[in-house]
């Protein structure tokens, strides 16, 4: 009852969020569907709006929450009321992060989102759940508390420069800061986001959290939470501090490139399916960040597209792993073998999901990866090597996984009793797979909605535009922001 109600609410939210997609005007980079209310004062406002960057992340969230709820139907057996409560609370926080235009509000959602995730891992997680959940919270908070100080400094600087109290990120876009200040603020923001992504040396919370989290927790963690970090870079860290961005990009790119290789190699040697997928996430997020740090149009748009793809394919991979776990109560790869013969439909679906993750043409992953490769190659030919390694490595570890689990002799007799996917499980996987094909075959409409916003984010990050988009704000307006780069690209 509670479960159906929560699912109904989540589906309704998704249907409502579709209105955003159809009502979205792809011709402008300004935030749309803006809602702005006075709140606490001192520049703290309730200020929401979406642009081409946040639109799809919101949709990804609203799509995957019902999917995750449906995927938890059997896996979460106890305390369903609390579970549904926390999942919906999590959805609120996640959407809030993507739509806030006021840094105070953004920070509120960013932190508030930790609480439901903390409970989801801590109550319904695996054996080492308490360790994993505390590590997750403490790692994330370490970064974000320093970001809080940076936000306060930014606020003080803006007040000093203009005499106005504001937390609006649109106002901050118009602020020019000294190089020294930028460095510190950039580092604080970058740390918070790098933990979330996670970039290479800060990634250690991720395998623990992913392995211990229950299936729906892993899905949301991998598919949406990690994107918050990348989103933070695109929305805040890079455009707010262009000078510092230029200075630190080489190092960050190096970390991202290292993460690709490291994550890929670690994934190759994992014995647990969930931690394999977790490490593959590190590798894929490395590629996304490498593309973001390339700071060119193709790469940034590819990164955004790849964020959606990664959300879908990793989410689906976790669903598949969860599905196997529900039948066998083990996640060790060695306990499986010959599953394909018992579960032919599942085997086919699993294969499609894997191919999407590997970037096979015709599926969504291909479009994103190719755009990323193009972009990275344009910026830096050396870094294109680790970028392409993503594809090679992911093919290696995923195909090995498939081979060991689906083919070969049956190791455990219990596998013979496995039932193929049921109706509910099909209802979970099929929509995601349809979307994978859709996004692989017809990427045009998606990408077109991103164009203007990506161009503007890029212009800001390169320091070309220091223009506030709020009417009447200080700073010279240049009309060329919109569509300046939009026409550069070939037709698709």
The residues that touch other proteins, with contacts defined as CB under 8 A, are 39-42, 79, 104, 107-109, 111-112, 114-115, 118-119, 122-123, 129-130, 133-134, 137-138, 141-142, 145-146, 148-149, 152-153, 155-156, 159
Specify the residue, 42 or 477, whose C-beta has the smaller distance to other proteins: 42
Beta carbons within 10 angstroms of residue 16's beta carbon: 10
Alpha-carbon distance of 59 to 62, in angstroms, equals 5
- Shortest distance, position 141 Cβ to other proteins, whole Å: 6
Specify the residue, 15 or 130, whose C-beta has the smaller distance to other proteins: 130
Alpha-carbon distance of 169 to 161, in angstroms, equals 15
Specify the residue, 121 or 273, whose C-beta has the smaller distance to other proteins: 121
Specify the residue, 21 or 118, whose C-beta has the smaller distance to other proteins: 118
Alpha-carbon distance of 455 to 482, in angstroms, equals 7
- Shortest distance, position 135 Cβ to other proteins, whole Å: 10
- Shortest distance, position 6 Cβ to other proteins, whole Å: 18
In whole angstroms, what separates CA 396 from the centre of its chain?
A: 23
Cα dihedral 69, 73, 75, 78 in deg (nearest 10): 90
Alpha-carbon distance of 308 to 367, in angstroms, equals 11
- Shortest distance, position 198 Cβ to other proteins, whole Å: 17
Cα dihedral 290, 295, 300, 302 in deg (nearest 10): -60
Specify the residue, 28 or 157, whose C-beta has the smaller distance to other proteins: 157
- Shortest distance, position 202 Cβ to other proteins, whole Å: 15
- Shortest distance, position 437 Cβ to other proteins, whole Å: 40
Q: How many residues does the chain have?
A: 492
- Shortest distance, position 433 Cβ to other proteins, whole Å: 35
- Shortest distance, position 142 Cβ to other proteins, whole Å: 6
- Shortest distance, position 95 Cβ to other proteins, whole Å: 15
- Shortest distance, position 29 Cβ to other proteins, whole Å: 29
Specify the residue, 208 or 298, whose C-beta has the smaller distance to other proteins: 208
Specify the residue, 175 or 353, whose C-beta has the smaller distance to other proteins: 175
Contact 109, 100 (CB under 8 A): yes
- Shortest distance, position 240 Cβ to other proteins, whole Å: 17
Specify the residue, 159 or 247, whose C-beta has the smaller distance to other proteins: 159
Specify the residue, 83 or 418, whose C-beta has the smaller distance to other proteins: 83
Specify the residue, 66 or 122, whose C-beta has the smaller distance to other proteins: 122
Q: Is 444 exposed, middle or buried (0-12, 13-18, 19+ CB in 10 A)?
A: exposed
Specify the residue, 107 or 366, whose C-beta has the smaller distance to other proteins: 107
């Amino acid at each position: 009852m509670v479960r159906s109600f929560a699912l109904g609410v989540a589906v309704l939210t998704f249907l409502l969020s579709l209105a955003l997609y159809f009502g979205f005007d792809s011709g402008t980079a300004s935030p749309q569907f803006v809602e702005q209310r006075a709140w606490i004062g001192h520049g703290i406002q309730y200020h929401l709006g979406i642009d081409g960057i946040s639109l799809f992340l919101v949709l990804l969230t609203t799509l995957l929450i019902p999917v995750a709820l449906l995927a938890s139907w059997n896996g979460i057996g106890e305390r369903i009321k609390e579970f549904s409560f926390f999942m919906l609370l999590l959805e609120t926080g996640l959407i809030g992060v993507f739509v806030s235009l006021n840094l105070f509000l953004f920070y509120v959602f960013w932190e508030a989102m930790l609480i439901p995730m903390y409970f989801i891992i801590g109550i319904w997680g695996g054996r080492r759940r308490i360790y994993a959940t505390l590590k997750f919270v403490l790692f994330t908070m370490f970064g974000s508390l320093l970001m809080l100080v940076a936000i306060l400094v930014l606020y003080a600087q803006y007040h000093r420069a203009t005499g106005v109290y504001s937390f609006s990120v649109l106002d901050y876009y118009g602020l020019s800061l000294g190089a020294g200040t930028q460095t510190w603020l950039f580092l604080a923001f970058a740390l918070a986001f790098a933990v979330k992504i996670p970039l290479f040396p800060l990634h250690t919370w991720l395998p623990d959290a992913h392995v211990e989290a229950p299936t729906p927790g892993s899905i949301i963690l991998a598919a949406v939470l990690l994107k918050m970090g990348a989103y933070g870079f695109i929305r805040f860290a890079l455009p707010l501090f262009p000078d510092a961005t230029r200075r630190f990009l080489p190092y960050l790119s190096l970390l991202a490139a290292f993460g690709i290789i490291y994550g890929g190699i670690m994934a190759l040697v994992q014995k647990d399916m969930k931690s394999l997928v977790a490490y593959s996430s590190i590798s894929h997020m490395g590629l996304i960040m490498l593309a973001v740090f390339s700071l060119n149009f193709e790469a940034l748009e590819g990164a955004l597209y790849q964020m959606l793809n990664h959300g879908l394919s990793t989410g689906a991979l976790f669903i598949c792993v969860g599905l196997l776990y529900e039948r066998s109560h083990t996640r060790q790869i060695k306990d499986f073998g010959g599953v394909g013969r018992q579960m032919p439909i599942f085997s086919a679906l699993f294969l499609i999901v894997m191919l999407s993750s590997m970037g096979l043409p015709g599926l969504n992953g291909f479009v994103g990866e190719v755009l990323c490769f193009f972009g990275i190659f344009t910026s830096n030919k050396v870094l294109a090597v680790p970028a392409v390694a993503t594809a090679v490595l992911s093919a290696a570890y995923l195909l090995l996984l498939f081979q060991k689990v689906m083919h070969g002799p049956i190791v455990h007799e219990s596998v013979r009793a496995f039932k193929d996917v049921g109706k509910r499980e099909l209802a979970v996987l099929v929509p995601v797979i349809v979307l994978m094909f859709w996004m692989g075959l017809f990427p045009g409409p998606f990408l077109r909605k991103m164009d203007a916003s990506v161009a503007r984010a890029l212009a800001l990050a390169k320091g070309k535009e220091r223009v506030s988009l709020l009417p009447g704000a200080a700073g010279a307006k240049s009309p060329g922001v919109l569509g300046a780069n939009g026409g550069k690209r070939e037709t698709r």
